[in-house]
Amino acid sequence: DQQVKQNSPSLSVQEGRISILNCDYTNSMFDYFLWYKKYPAEGPTFLISISSIKDKNEDGRFTVFLNKSAKHLSLHIVPSQPGDSAVYFCAASPLRGGTASKLTFGTGTRLQVTL
């Protein structure tokens, strides 16, 4: 049972435009959400996170929105740059801290930013 779903395996966006990556979850116990970015042949790197007490968190060009009632979060990248081309994983946990052993990852969305 996939508790964290990224229904779009891939997304292509023109440079300078907005990229919107979506993530849905089914477990109402999830309380903390993260996005990781992964380049080929490298490990993922942490991008941005949001706690369930917020509905928005912004860090430079990256903004994550959380809609708890819809069990949906999205990552907005504005403006998109070619270096943003990577696979983006959504992850969720019932705990903000303590252990990452409860972290559940989505299947990833491959973003390609074209010139």
Which residues of this protein are in contact with another protein, per CB under 8 A? 2, 4, 9, 32, 34, 36, 41-46, 49, 89, 91, 93, 95-101, 103-108
CB of residue 93 to another protein, shortest distance in Å: 5
Q: C-alpha angle 27/63/50, rounded to 5°?
A: 40
Nearer residue to another protein within complex by CB, 16 or 46:
46
DSSP letters, 65-92, are EEETTTTEEEEEESS--GGG-EEEEEEE
Ramachandran sector of residue 31 (left: φ over 0; alpha: ψ -120 to 50; beta: rest)? alpha
CB proximity list for 39: less than 8 A, separation 6 or greater? 86, 87
Phi, psi of 99 (to 5 degrees): -155, 150
Nearer residue to another protein within complex by CB, 9 or 16:
9
Nearer residue to another protein within complex by CB, 79 or 105:
105
CB of residue 115 to another protein, shortest distance in Å: 27
CB of residue 106 to another protein, shortest distance in Å: 5
CB of residue 102 to another protein, shortest distance in Å: 8
